[in-house]
Amino acid sequence: MKIYSLLADKISKTFNSQKIFKNVSFNAFVGNSIAITGSNGSGKSTLLKILLKYIHPSKGDVKYFCDNKEIESQIIYQNISFVAPYFNLYEEFTALENIELAIKLKSKYISNDLINDELNRFSLFNHSKKEVGHYSSGMKQRLKYCIANILKSDFIFIDEPTSNLDDEGKKIVFDFLKEIQSTSCLIYATNEKDELQFANEIVDLSLLNLN
C-alpha cells in the first residue's frame, strides 16, 4: 500500500495586490485529514483550488508525495478527486455515462454491479438512466460523491461537503467521510461546526487573514 501525502508549504495568495491569506502550511496524509475553516471570503475555496493545482499560489508551493517521492504536477490528476457545488457534471449524459467517462479516463476497471452498489448507496440507482440535467442539485452532489467513491482516489478534496443536501443526504455523506478518512487523504473546506469531527487538523483562515 503506497503512502500518499500532500505538503503545503507557506502558501500565500494575493489578488492584484489584495492579500487573501498568508503562510498556510500543513502536511496531510492518510489518517491526518485537514479541515479548512474561516469566514466567507477568507479564501477557503481559493486555497482548495491551489492545492488542486488549479490556481497558482503567489508564494509558497504545493507538493504531492507517493512514498516520499514527489509526484510531478502534470500527472497529479490521476490521484485526485474533487467534489464541490460550483462545478457540474455533463448534463446531457446520464449518470452511468458520466461515471463511465470518469472510470475510463482514470483507466480503472470496475464491474457493473459494483457501480450499481455505489449508486444504490448514494440512493441514485433508479435514476441512473436519466440525464443528469434533470437531476435535482442534491442528486447531482450525491453523484459527485458517488464518482469520488468509485474512483477511490488517494487525495479527496471537498468544498462545503453538505451543501444542497437534505438530512438523508447529509447522513450518507457523513458515513462516506467517516469511511474515507482512514483510506485516503481527505482535505475539505467548511464552516459548519458539526462537520469538523472528521478532521484531525483544522486550518482556520480567519486567523491568518490580514484584512
Partner 1 sequence: MSYSNIIFLKDVKSEFRTRVSFNTQLLFTITTLSIILFAVGNESISIPTTISFYWIVSIFAAMSGLSRVFVKEEERGTFLFLFQLASSQSVFIGKLLFNAIFTILVNFFILILFSLFIDTFSANLFFILVMILGSIGIASVSTIVAAIISKVNSSTTLYTVLSFPILIPLLMTLIQASQLSIEGAFFSEMRGHFSFMIGYNISLILISLYLITYLWSE
Partner 2 sequence: MRIIKYTTIFLITIQIVLGISFPLVAKPEHFWQFPIVIGLEEKIRNVIFHVPTAWTATIAFTMSLVYGFLYLQKKDFNYELKSIASAELGFLFCILATVTGAIWAKFNWGSFWNWDPRQTSIFILLMIYSAYFVLRSSISEKVKRARISSVYSILAGVTVPFFIFILPRITSGLHPGSKGDTEGAGPIVQFKMAPNMLTLFFIGLIGFTLLYFWIFNLRYRLLVLENKNESEE
By a kind-dependent CB cut-off of 5 to 8 A, residue 101 interacts, out of partner 2, partner 1, none, with partner 1
**Per CB under 8 A, 86 contacts partner 1:** yes
**Per CB under 8 A, 134 contacts partner 1:** no
Question: Closest distance between partner 1 and the C-beta of residue 156, in Å?
Answer: 10
At residue 49, what is the residue type?
Answer: K
Kindly indicate which of the ranges 98-106, 110-118, 170-178, 183-191 contains the residues binding partner 1, using the contact rule CB under 8 A: 98-106
75 Cβ partners below 8 Å, 6+ apart?
none
> Residue written as cell 478532521?
199
Per-residue burial over 44-57, b = 16 or more CB atoms within 10 Å of its CB, e = otherwise: bbbbbbbbbbeeeb
CB 102 within 8 A of CB 150: yes
Question: Closest distance between partner 1 and the C-beta of residue 98, in Å?
Answer: 8
**Per CB under 8 A, 15 contacts partner 1:** no
**Per CB under 8 A, 18 contacts partner 1:** no
- Burial class from Cβ neighbours inside 10 Å (0-12, 13-18, 19+) for residue 66 reads middle
Query: 174 vs 58, 60, 102, 146, 192, CA distance in Å?
Result: 34, 32, 23, 13, 13
By a kind-dependent CB cut-off of 5 to 8 A, residue 53 interacts, out of partner 2, partner 1, none, with partner 1
Cβ proximity to partner 1, 56 vs 178, nearer residue: 56
Tell me which residues touch partner 1 (CB under 8 A).
Answer: 49, 52-56, 74-75, 77, 80-82, 84, 86-93, 97, 101-102, 104-106
